[in-house]
Amino acid sequence: MKKITFLLFNVLVSFNFLFSQQVSEEIKTPTPNYRLASKYSPTNLAKLVHSTTVRPNWLEKGNRFWYQYKTTNGSNYYIVDADKKTKTKLFDNAKMAKWLTEITKDPYDAQHLPRFDFEFVKNETAIRFRVTSNEEVEVKEKEESETTTDSTSTKKETKKSPKKEKKVYYFEYTLGGNGLAVINNDKKEKEDWKKWANVSPDSTVVLFSKNHNLYWMDKENFLKAVKDPKDSTIVENQWTKDGVEYFGYSSYGNENNVEKEKNKNDRKYIRGHWSHDSKKFVYEKTDSRHIKDLWVINTATNERPTLETYKYHMAGEQEFYKSYIEIFDIPSKEIKTVKLDTTVQQSIGIYSYDYKKSNNSEHKPRLLLSKKNKIYYSTISRDRKNLDIEVADLNTGETKTLIKESFNTYIENSGKKIVLINNESEIIFWSERDGWGHFYLYDSNGNLKRQVTSGEFHIDTYEGFDESTRNIYFTANGVNKDEDPYFSHLYKINLNGTDLKCLNPGDFNTEIDLFDSNKYFVSNYSKVNTVPKTELRNENGSLVLKLEEADLSQLMASGYKFPEPFKMKADDGITDIYGVMYKPFDFDENKKYPIIEYVYPGPQTEAVAKSFSINMNYTDRMAQVGFIVVTLGNRGGHPARSKWYHTYGYGNLRDYGLADKKYVAEQLADKYSFIDINKVGIFGHSGGGFMSTAAMLVYPDFFKVAVSSAGNHDNTIYNSWWSETHHGIDEEKDEKGNVIYKYAIDKNQSLAENLKGKLMLVTGDIDNNVHPGSTIRMADALIKANKRFDFMLMPGQRHGFGSMNEYFFWLKADYFSKYLLGVENTNVDITEINRDIPQKN
């Protein structure tokens, strides 16, 4: 008996131990907190956080700018005089509210002013702006009669009821004054002409396209067209007759079959470059007739479904766009062609002139880079391994190669590659030829004078040049080795390569706006876990004024907590990988949280925030459901590091970043006991959709759940620029000497049989960037492999999902909650969306 009792006791102890373990495990698992996630929707965040950066509007007189900044107390408008080191309010809010109330009869107070769009006038001593009141007035137009038929078929004329519209006030305020003057009550005229008219810099000639050909009209007729586009007395002059569809003189937009038929005879915009003297117009004419068509069908329309047809060059296709540069002489109406080699497959880019930031004119047509009858342009080979900088004579079309650049992988060609300085006698050229992005100085004939910058850091953007000091201003990453290499700062260096200096140092990321004079710049700075601040500094880096500190008081009062940056090793055990961890704001260290990676592979960027941001839908907000969400880089990602890092994935575009994503998650779990490494999720959009599905198939025993949206799973039907550039394409010659292009890339669907976890595929049905066919092919492969998975089509949505983004957020939340937290939301209504929407009967 004692033996049986002892055995029963042991069984009970064991059972209690197992039960307590089970209870303990259940306690450690977080419960999905939808209410907390809904608090941080984009709509709700707009109530908690307002301005976080200063966007200066530079003025022409002096080193001055104005800006708006909004806090929980409302908006204020300031004007800053950098020379005088002053920051003053553009006007007194209380007085402005009083004047607006007295004149418009609508109530205003200092905290609730309308949003202003200012125009500085009278030598920048006054501002003008419009305000729309609630008073309704008759529309100023001729009354028209309407003919109606009664039941006895007797016709009679009845007058329409007068149309009503909100009354508009056009005000002028003299800075420092004591009142508002009403200029008139005219509303701002519609500028529909901007959709079709390319007006010359001197405003004497207007170019446009019609029926695929180039037309022109003079100023007199243009003004008629502005007043009444259908005025029968308008004189249009046809310049070309050789234009046809897809090889003409028009900027082709996205038109469905209904719109295309309706608009076929309309005037359309022609995109090109003007010479500074308005005597020449340069047009890049592209022949895409031989490029195959692609289609999307929009079934979510009010009428019958519409078909959208567009030219789309896919990776590996033998055909390629053929480009020509044509020069139109405005006075003589002659046409010349730049002498290009059109037998080779290449892309062409014409360099543009940058207007001064203080130029607040509404009329800023696109100009050629040079003021001296020259066209500077680049050609880059089909395989993206060869780049030439060319210059053509604007009068003759004769062309000359100035700089030749080649690489065994692709040449990074984003941003501005050349700058003309010293009366166009010198050229600043950006290159990664030594493994890092640096500046090189050439003379106007293409002779290298010197490398200006050097070292293991990356120059990101050219910002300005001072002719008197020969200092070049630029932003760069990785100069200070004690900082996150992605942090950007403003630097200057002399063109002789001396006196490199950081102008806004600090252990944070910065976003700068340098004024035309190069004497001052606005510096917005923060990290993901600091409050954003803004300063005004001078060309030596000295602090001039502290401008703003973001008001995060209500955000913090809501329970918000900053995320945590981290640094781990890549799968090689050497390369540093930088990331950010987002925790639930009700985080409990005694619980065990699933970890979810939000991914975007680049290689043109990485989805890792470096500055404070309220764009939380992919990170902070998803964490509130009950997860640890992380973003991290990977070898082959962001170009802000070395050329080696950036091109690591060349030739292996599907799998190159996955090992790093896996290894970093494992390191985080080793470091933090609250991470459950047995519950790993992953999601991403576009390239991130491609990557998240690939992760599920390459490491099926590690990644357990994925939501992959708008993914280019099959890069053979994605655009040639992205995949041919970053993955590579081979050029070979056949027996006849013809160049043949060979392209091979691993597709996600080839690994469909590897799927073990839970996968949801999502696409918009009219996505004309990453075609929905890519997601459908992935679904087809999974079906043929006899796999269970989930699929969602977003009706009437393009690549970004538009108005369905909020719905898509909760779709992801439901999916991760079900398969990582074990809680399925079965409610038909998404109450988290409906809760904030007024319901109607």
Burial of 495 (0-12, 13-18, 19+ CB in 10 A): buried
3-state secondary structure 551-608: CCHHHHHCCCCCCEEEEEECCCCCCEEEEEEECCCCCCCCCCEEEEEECCCCCCCCCC
pLDDT at 147 over 50: no
Exposure string over 71-95, b if 16+ CB within 10 A, otherwise e: beeebbbbbbbbeeeebeebbebee
Closest listed residue to residue 457, CA positions, set 473, 441, 439: 439
List the structure tokens of 526. 């923060």
Give the model confidence (pLDDT) of 823-841 as tens digits.
Answer: 999 999 999 998 888 877 6
Three-class SS string for 482-499? CCCCCCEEEEEEECCCCC
What is the per-residue pLDDT across 289-334, written as a single tens digit (0 to 9) for each?
999 999 999 999 988 999 999 999 999 999 999 999 999 999 999 9
pLDDT of 2 higher than 50: no
Domains of the chain: 24-47+555-831 (3.40.50.1820), 54-138+164-191 (no CATH), 423-549 (2.120.10.30)
pLDDT tens digits, residue range 269-297?
Answer: 999 999 999 999 999 999 999 999 999 99
Residue 213 confidence (pLDDT): 97
Lowest-pLDDT range of 55-64, 150-159, 197-206, 779-788: 150-159
Q: Is the dihedral of CA 394, 400, 402, 407 positive or negative?
A: positive
Please state, in angstroms and rounded to a whole number, the distance separating the CA atoms of residues 715 and 40. 35
pLDDT at 412: 87
pLDDT at 35 exceeding the cut of 50: yes
SS (H, E, C) 506-539: CCCEEEEEECCCCCEEEEEEECCCCCCEEEEEEC
159 pLDDT tier (thresholds 50, 70, 90) = low
- Residue 809 exposed, middle or buried by CB count within 10 Å (0-12, 13-18, 19+): buried
Band of the pLDDT at 764, cuts 50, 70, 90? very high
Question: What's the pLDDT band for 10 if we cut at 50, 70, 90?
Answer: low
The C-alpha atoms of residue 257 and residue 124 are separated, in whole angstroms, by: 49
Pairing relationship of beta strands 273-274 and 280-287 according to DSSP bridges? antiparallel
Of the candidates 762, 715, 755, 782, the one whose C-alpha atom is nearest the C-alpha of residue 315 is 715
Rounded average pLDDT over 378-392: 96
**3-class SS string, 100-123:** HHHHHCCCCCCCCCCCCCCEEECC
Tracing tokens 């992005």 back to the chain, one arrives at 437
Residue with tokens 């100009």: 367
